[in-house]
């Protein structure tokens, strides 16, 4: 049961696809105050848990902190970070009363979940134009599934996108990419994708390739023959450069975001000064999307959209402002405060709220300030691509994921969780975000394995890969200037070969569970409590997840740990993929256990009376043979396998399922 309450004149975000008739009056849950913006207050019971918020910091249970939905280009995911790249305003309060709440509001919105006052949930935003949805159901899981139906089917990638991908900021030439391909193929470490970060472009100009690629289509084709797809990045900012076709067309047709005076807004990102395509304007969105064809025509079958919060390093106005302040600073006798002040001024040049409030979108002929719909930019950049790719290739699926997002974008593409660090705590953060993202429709998702910023270590990468084995998007990515972290850079490459090999063995199962989840608006990863709602112990587990209908995962995320404690809500079979290719099986009773997990072992748990199919190791997805599947798990059980061609868009649960075992 979903009730909708409309306040003021909400911006039509298009986040939901099933229209809900507005209810009269006020919601039964919480109190609403419209005096100073919009405030929703709910008094929580000490035992209430709060799930949701998609891409957000901290726990699976969000209680005890404050989170602001305000898409932010922030590479420092610290414990006190309140905003990441996405804005996903869906929560479920689970306890004395259990209900879901979705606030469809595309500007900054704060969820104070027992932070200011431990017993209060306070949701606040400045304007009173929004839709509030209250979702009732049997429990948190049931409520989530109803919400998922309302927001529409999650994006479905091609099957190759479930393979392993290698990325690094800095690969520039054909030789750079070939070296990575050789590194993997020569060491027999499975791989399906190599990502092309900004240096593949000519001076960071979207939809161009640099001069090092003398025959790009042939290069793309040859890589494909080797079972490797190249996946280029597309940034939001279009370089300002006379003669650059995209810049010229955008200016001529008024397809870029404008300043109040009607001139094109200027923002600096990697290429220097750029204009931002006005992806909120359907005509401009269509135009920007049509440019993806420039690369699909050359054989490209996947993209990652970046810098689409949008990220702004600085603007000419911001620079002028600093220069004025610098002049005063230089001529005056400085004191300590002036030094701090000038430092802060320089630091706050990037992504400044003033800049984000200084440009406008053309919404049906009216100029609407970006600030009012900030959280929709990444969504609509990816929608531009998703809609265009659908018309460019109506038959074939295309890989697509984004950095910034809002609920609704999950229908067009996946997301990766942005610039994390090579920190042990970020393995756990990665794990905790997964079920929350699934609640909000983002099924095709994963983190930069090994960590993006800072130098990784061999053990960190191995442990992180052992989680990444299960995430639909499995990609190793690192920042420019950090330690090289391709798997073949480390000693004992056989350990990496083994761990990634396990991903390929599990792939028929993972793909099958992904497709079932997508086609039935279900979750791929769940908190334990969603499957065991009556188990108070399960409700507190923050470092294990249920996966699909059969598995529980419990990765190791602590340096030098030889294993970890796990909680089993029911009897389960503990499986270890051992480095010699053998699989150890041990039935463990319900309760707490310590499990030993060496660095080169992938652990998982199979639920009671269930089993999963396993393929032989393959070096790329197309080589996986699903005619020879072996079952592991409880004797006498069978598994319903979903299998399709992996690339056409006519998915059908009925026609594509067969029972194995």
Contact residues: ligand GLC, CB under 6 A: 169, 197-198, 233, 306, 403, 418-419, 477
Minimum distance between the CB of residue 38 and ligand GLC, rounded to whole angstroms?
Answer: 32
Q: Which residues pair with 605 in a beta bridge?
A: 552, 574
From 64, 34, 59, select the one nearest 542 (Cα to Cα).
Answer: 59
Where in 281-350 does DSSP place strands (E)? 302-306
Minimum distance between the CB of residue 305 and ligand GLC, rounded to whole angstroms?
Answer: 10
CB nearer ligand GLC, residue 350 or residue 367: 350
Minimum distance between the CB of residue 592 and ligand GLC, rounded to whole angstroms?
Answer: 39
CB nearer ligand GLC, residue 169 or residue 647: 169
442-to-24, 276, 445, 548 alpha-carbon distances in Å: 31, 25, 7, 15
CB nearer ligand GLC, residue 192 or residue 306: 306
Where in 403-532 does DSSP place strands (E)? 405-406, 414-416, 445-446, 448-449, 474-476, 525-526
- The structure tokens listed for 364 are 């049906």
CB nearer ligand GLC, residue 16 or residue 198: 198
From 370, 329, 377, 335, select the one nearest 353 (Cα to Cα).
Answer: 370
Q: Which residues pair with 563 in a beta bridge?
A: 596
Minimum distance between the CB of residue 453 and ligand GLC, rounded to whole angstroms?
Answer: 9
CA–CA separation, 153 and 529 (whole Å)? 24
Minimum distance between the CB of residue 299 and ligand GLC, rounded to whole angstroms?
Answer: 22
Helix extents (H) in 475-601:
493-519, 528-531
CB nearer ligand GLC, residue 358 or residue 476: 476
For residues 556 and 597, the answer to whether their CB atoms sit within 8 Å is yes
CB nearer ligand GLC, residue 233 or residue 545: 233
CB nearer ligand GLC, residue 113 or residue 479: 479
CB nearer ligand GLC, residue 84 or residue 601: 84
Mutual angle of helices 282-290 and 377-392, in 10-degree steps? 60
For 122, phi and psi rounded to 5 degrees?
Answer: -125, 120
For 282, phi and psi rounded to 5 degrees?
Answer: -55, -35
CB nearer ligand GLC, residue 77 or residue 403: 403
CA–CA separation, 61 and 111 (whole Å)? 13
CB nearer ligand GLC, residue 235 or residue 264: 235
Burial class (CB in 10 A: 0-12, 13-18, 19+), 276: buried
Minimum distance between the CB of residue 452 and ligand GLC, rounded to whole angstroms?
Answer: 6
Minimum distance between the CB of residue 130 and ligand GLC, rounded to whole angstroms?
Answer: 29
Minimum distance between the CB of residue 169 and ligand GLC, rounded to whole angstroms?
Answer: 4
Minimum distance between the CB of residue 341 and ligand GLC, rounded to whole angstroms?
Answer: 28
CA–CA separation, 315 and 299 (whole Å)? 36
Rg (CA), the chain: 25
CA–CA separation, 236 and 309 (whole Å)? 9
CA–CA separation, 510 and 360 (whole Å)? 43
Minimum distance between the CB of residue 271 and ligand GLC, rounded to whole angstroms?
Answer: 11
CA–CA separation, 276 and 290 (whole Å)? 16
Task: Identify the residue whose tokens are 């905003």.
Answer: 83
Minimum distance between the CB of residue 307 and ligand GLC, rounded to whole angstroms?
Answer: 6
From 271, 244, 267, select the one nearest 256 (Cα to Cα).
Answer: 267
Minimum distance between the CB of residue 468 and ligand GLC, rounded to whole angstroms?
Answer: 16
For residues 317 and 311, the answer to whether their CB atoms sit within 8 Å is no
Minimum distance between the CB of residue 552 and ligand GLC, rounded to whole angstroms?
Answer: 31
Q: Which residues pair with 572 in a beta bridge?
A: 588, 607
CA–CA separation, 305 and 500 (whole Å)? 25
Task: Identify the residue whose tokens are 């279900």.
Answer: 522
CB nearer ligand GLC, residue 3 or residue 403: 403
In sequence order, the 6+-apart residues with CB closer than 8 A to the CB of 619 are 185, 188, 189, 190, 191, 227, 504
CA–CA separation, 504 and 271 (whole Å)? 38
CB nearer ligand GLC, residue 479 or residue 554: 479
Element (H, E) at 437: helix 425-439
CB nearer ligand GLC, residue 106 or residue 378: 378
Minimum distance between the CB of residue 197 and ligand GLC, rounded to whole angstroms?
Answer: 5
CA–CA separation, 630 and 660 (whole Å)? 9
CB nearer ligand GLC, residue 170 or residue 563: 170
- The structure tokens listed for 528 are 């334990």
Minimum distance between the CB of residue 419 and ligand GLC, rounded to whole angstroms?
Answer: 5
In sequence order, the 6+-apart residues with CB closer than 8 A to the CB of 84 are 55, 56, 57, 72, 74, 77, 417, 418
CA–CA separation, 87 and 109 (whole Å)? 9
CB nearer ligand GLC, residue 292 or residue 452: 452
Position with the least CB separation from ligand GLC: 169
């Amino acid at each position: 049961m979903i009730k909708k309450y409309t306040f003021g004149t909400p911006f039509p975000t298009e986040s939901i696809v099933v229209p809900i008739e507005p209810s009269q009056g006020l919601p039964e849950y919480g109190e609403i105050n419209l005096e100073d913006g919009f405030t929703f207050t709910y008094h929580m019971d000490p035992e209430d848990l709060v799930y949701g918020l998609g891409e957000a910091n901290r726990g699976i249970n969000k209680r005890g902190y404050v989170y602001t939905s305000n898409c932010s280009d922030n590479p420092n995911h610290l414990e006190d970070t309140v905003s990441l790249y996405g804005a996903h305003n869906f929560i479920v309060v689970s306890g004395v009363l259990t209900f879901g709440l979705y606030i469809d509001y595309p500007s900054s919105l704060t969820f104070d979940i027992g932070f200011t006052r431990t017993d209060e949930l306070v949701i606040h935003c400045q304007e009173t134009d929004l839709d509030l949805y209250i979702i009732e159901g049997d429990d948190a899981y049931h409520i989530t599934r109803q919400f998922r139906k309302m927001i529409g089917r999650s994006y479905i990638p091609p099957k190759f996108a479930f393979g392993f991908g290698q990325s690094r900021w800095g690969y520039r030439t054909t030789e750079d990419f070939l070296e990575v391909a050789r590194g993997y193929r020569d060491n027999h470490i499975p791989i399906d994708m190599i990502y092309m970060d900004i240096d593949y472009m000519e001076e960071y100009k979207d939809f161009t390739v640099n001069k090092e690629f003398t025959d790009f289509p042939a290069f793309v084709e040859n890589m494909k023959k080797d079972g490797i797809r190249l996946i280029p990045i597309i940034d939001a900012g279009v370089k300002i450069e006379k003669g650059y076709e995209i810049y010229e067309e955008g200016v001529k047709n008024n397809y870029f975001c404008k300043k109040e005076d009607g001139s094109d807004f200027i923002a600096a990102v990697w290429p220097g000064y750029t204009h931002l395509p006005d992806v909120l304007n359907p005509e401009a969105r269509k135009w920007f999307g049509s440019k993806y064809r420039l690369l699909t025509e050359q054989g490209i079958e996947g993209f990652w959209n970046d810098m689409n919060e949008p990220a702004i390093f600085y603007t000419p106005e911001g620079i002028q402002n600093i220069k004025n302040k610098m002049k005063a600073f230089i001529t005056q006798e400085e004191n300590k405060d002036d030094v701090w002040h000038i430092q802060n001024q320089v630091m706050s040049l990037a992504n400044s709220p003033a800049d984000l409030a200084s440009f406008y979108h053309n919404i049906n002929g009216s100029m609407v300030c970006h600030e009012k719909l900030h959280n929709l930019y990444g969504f609509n950049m990816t929608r531009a691509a998703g809609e265009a790719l659908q018309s460019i290739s109506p038959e074939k699926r295309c890989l697509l994921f984004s950095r910034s997002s809002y609920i609704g974008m999950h229908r067009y593409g996946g997301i990766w969780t942005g610039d994390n660090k090579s920190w042990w705590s970020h393995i756990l953060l990665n794990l905790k975000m997964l079920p929350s993202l699934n609640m909000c429709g983002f099924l095709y998702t994963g983190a930069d394995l090994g960590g993006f910023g800072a130098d990784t270590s061999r053990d960190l990468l191995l442990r992180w890969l052992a989680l990444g084995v299960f995430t639909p998007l499995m990609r190793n990515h690192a920042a420019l200037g950090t330690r090289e972290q391709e798997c073949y850079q480390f000693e004992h490459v056989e350990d990496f070969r083994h761990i990634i090999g396990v991903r390929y063995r599990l792939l028929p199962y993972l793909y099958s569970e992904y497709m079932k989840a997508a086609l039935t608006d279900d979750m791929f990863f769940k908190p334990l409590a969603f499957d065991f709602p009556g188990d108070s112990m399960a409700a507190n587990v923050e470092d294990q997840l249920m996966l699909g209908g059969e598995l529980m995962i419990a990765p190791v995320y602590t340096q030098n740990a030889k294993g970890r404690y796990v909680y089993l809500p029911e009897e389960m079979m503990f499986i270890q993929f051992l480095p010699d290719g053998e699989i150890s099986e041990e039935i463990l009773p319900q309760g707490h256990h310590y499990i030993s997990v060496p660095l080169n072992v992938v652990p998982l748990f199979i639920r009671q009376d269930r089993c999963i199919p396993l393929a032989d190791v393959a070096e790329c997805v197309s080589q996986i043979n699903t005619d020879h599947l072996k079952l592991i798990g409880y004797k006498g059980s069978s598994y319903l396998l979903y299998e399709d061609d992996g690339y056409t868009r006519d998915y059908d649960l009925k026609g594509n399922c067969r029972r194995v075992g």
